[in-house]
Amino acid sequence: MFNAPEPYVRARMLAPFTRPPDSGLGRLAVTKDIIQIADLLADKTYLKGDPFAVEGVELAGIRTLLAVPMLKDDQLVGCIIIYRQEPRPFSEKQIQLVKNFANQVVLGLENARLLNELRDRTCELERSYTLVQQQASQLDTQARELRKLNEGLKERVGE
């Protein structure tokens, strides 16, 4: 959480993470679509007394909430949630900006994953190459020893 009020951060860190199905995050998880709650005070999760929503309003002062999914191949890999402490919906332009940012984050995460995979594979190949070099060196040593034995046998047979 970035720039959230300390009491809200503490409450979120101490409590087990739950995602009530009818909360903004719960709806996002099901629909994989952008969720905007214009006024959390008027939202059914808050009105029902859901602790997740109540803490958001009372500890963080959340009024307007925007939840934007981070999708990779239609799989939900995360989300970006931003909020206002006043009931004022986000504009389409602002929503599109957050959506583009979420897409860029997903690309960055995928690039980081691919880079780590490439590094792991490179280390694997380096270990294999070192092993092959050691084996080639051993085979070279054995070949020299066999040549010496062969030369010794030729000398004996030639006597």
Per-residue b or e along 5-26, where b marks 16 or more CB atoms closer than 10 Å to that residue's CB:
eeebeebbeeeeeeeeeebbbb
For residue 159, what pLDDT is reported? Answer: 61
Could you tell me if 97 and 157 lie in one domain? yes
pLDDT, tens only, 10-46? 887 887 777 778 888 889 999 999 999 999 999 999 9
Contact assessment for residue 68 and residue 80, using Cβ atoms and an 8 Å cutoff = yes
* The pLDDT of residue 85: 95
Statement to judge: residues 86 and 101 lie in one domain: no
Q: What is the pTM of this model?
A: 0.74
**With pLDDT > 70 as the criterion, what percentage of the chain qualifies?**
98
- HSE-up (13 A, CA, CB side) for residue 78: 13
Same domain, 40 and 57: yes
Counting as low any pLDDT under 70, the low residues of the chain are 159
- H helices of the chain, in order, are 6-14, 24-31, 44-47, 51-60, 92-158
Domain ranges, residue 35: 6-90
Measured distance CA(148)–CA(155) in Å, rounded: 11
Predicted local confidence at residue 21, as pLDDT: 80
Rounded to a whole number of angstroms, the CA Rg of the chain reads 31
Which pLDDT score, from 0 to 100, does residue 81 have? 93
Same domain, 79 and 153: no
Do 52 and 28 lie in one domain? The reply is: yes
Nearest to 23 by CA among 61, 56, 60: 56
Given 58, 90, 122, which residue is the final one in a domain? 90
Residue 1: inside a domain: no
Residues 45 and 57 in one domain: yes
Residues 26 and 72 in one domain: yes
| Pairing mode of beta strands 64-72, 35-37 | antiparallel
Q: What pLDDT sits at residue 4? A: 85
